[in-house]
Amino acid sequence: MVVTAKAADGKELGKVERHYHPQATNCRDFKMKYGAQWKVANLRDTSLQPGQAKKETIEFELPEGVRNADVTIELFYEASNPDNKYPIHTVTRKVSLDK
Amino acid sequence: MRFLKLILVLLFIAVPLVASADKAKTIDELAKMYDSSSCKGCHEDIYTQWEKSHHARPLMGVKGGLMLSPLAAKKGTDGATAFSEDDPKKMKIKNYPCFKCHLPQAITSAEDSVAVELTEALLAKDKVKIAKLQITCIVCHNTKAIIHKRELGEPEKGVIYSTKDMGAHPGGKIKKSAIFKDSIYCGQCHGLGPNLEFDQPFQCANLYGSYLHSYVSGGGTQTCQDCHMQKGDHLIAPNWNDDKGTSELLAKAISLDVQTLGYEWLRKAKTYVPKVVVSTKITTTAGHRIPDG
């Protein structure tokens, strides 16, 4: 998931990524491995679990003078390599500090 | 006595030959042995679904990749694995533990010469040859159809196993498999976690483990087949080569709720910090972790 905040002029104000997947090593060192041939056991698992919601709270501090932000949340799946993406949901929101 | 000796010698030579004659020596022989194209005549829709599935290209990975290439790489070279050898001619069936699931018929029905030929094909990136090796109808409807082998014996040759006994059938008699509708059937390959039975453990799919220990333990009752083989669909989605279909499937299973807030945070007296807060909540209806396989 990538959450991006941009100013009205398109300038990026902040970008945060969250990665949800099991992470394995070969149990001989602490380097994560890709590929079944090298993996031996999961070391950490941040994947989406059945019946459990994955919640995040992400904060962007706006620079002086910026009162509005366009926020985009992109949720996608990567298979095989990070360049092979399958978009799942894209949500955009305009956020203002003025009533 | 000489005649008897001669018979014994001939038997000694002939028996191994007969035994090896039961196994495929080449990729073509193995492909022919498990060829299921005759099923298409009567089950065209199912066959067409299967042709688009990953079961039809178990050694090809996603979008034409060759997932066994690291095993074929020369031992000691960059990208090689613990299963690699320094000469393709040394490769044996046991050098490809991935066959456990990606080509189970190789374990039961192939000579080591098939491993040598596959290694050479992988090094040559001969996708046409490698694509001949598939998880065909026979693999699922025979080879993997029985798990209670001590009680029920090995799958019978020439028998097609399915959800119910149906008697005579053009391709062979149809018998009921006790597990065909159960998740454990899929769990034979879409696995529990580390494969510790090998002399060098490795980890592929955790999916069935996740199903058992997260979904079932949470009260889930649906099977793999309930979701992935609705109406008998043999595509058994996702098909990762179909971008649009995969995105739609994922969007159906995964929900994203977003809440935003803009305000000025009072850090200390007279020091306001303009801030945007984004709260996300992702939920899934899948009966297993995402991602897994």
Model pLDDT for residues B62-87, shown as the tens digit of each residue: 998 999 999 999 999 999 999 999 99
Q: Do A73 and B204 touch (CB under 8 A)?
A: no
Whether residue B100 is contained in a domain is answered as yes
Whether residue B201 is contained in a domain is answered as yes
> Which of A38, A56, A61 is closest, CB to CB, to B274?
A61
Confidence (pLDDT) at B14? 39
In whole angstroms, what is the distance from residue B52 CA to residue B222 CA? Answer: 25
Whether residue B282 is contained in a domain is answered as no
In whole angstroms, what is the distance from residue B93 CA to residue B193 CA? Answer: 22
Looking at the structure of chain B, the number of domains it has is 1
Confidence (pLDDT) at B153? 97
Section B5-30 average pLDDT = 61
In whole angstroms, what is the distance from residue B133 CA to residue B240 CA? Answer: 19
* Domain boundaries along the sequence of chain A: 1-18+56-99, 19-51
Mean of the per-residue pLDDT values for chain B?
93
In whole angstroms, what is the distance from residue B12 CA to residue B76 CA? Answer: 40
- Residue numbers of the domain that contains B74: 15-237
Confidence (pLDDT) at B9? 41
Whether residue B271 is contained in a domain is answered as no
Residues 191-220 of B with CB under 8 A from A: 193-194, 201-204, 206, 210-211, 214-215, 218-220
- Please, which pLDDT band fits residue B3 given cuts at 50, 70 and 90? low
First-last CA distance in chain A: 29
Q: Are strands A85-96 and A68-78 parallel, antiparallel or unpaired?
A: antiparallel
Q: Are strands A85-96 and A12-17 parallel, antiparallel or unpaired?
A: unpaired
In whole angstroms, what is the distance from residue B90 CA to residue B72 CA? Answer: 11
CA B243 to chain centre: 20
Section B182-190 average pLDDT = 98
Q: What is the pLDDT of residues B124-167, one digit of tens each?
A: 999 999 999 999 999 999 999 999 999 999 999 999 999 999 98
Q: What is the DSSP letter of A38?
A: T
Section A82-94 average pLDDT = 97
Section B204-227 average pLDDT = 97
Whether residue B261 is contained in a domain is answered as no
Q: Which residues pair with B276 in a beta bridge?
A: A60, B262
Which residues on chain A are in Cβ contact (under 8 Å) with B274?
A: 61-62, 66-67, 97
ipTM of the complex: 0.97
A50 CA: distance to closest CA in chain B (Å): 6
In whole angstroms, what is the distance from residue B205 CA to residue A24 CA? Answer: 12
| A–B interface: beta-carbon pairs under 8 A | 168
Q: How many residues does chain A have?
A: 99
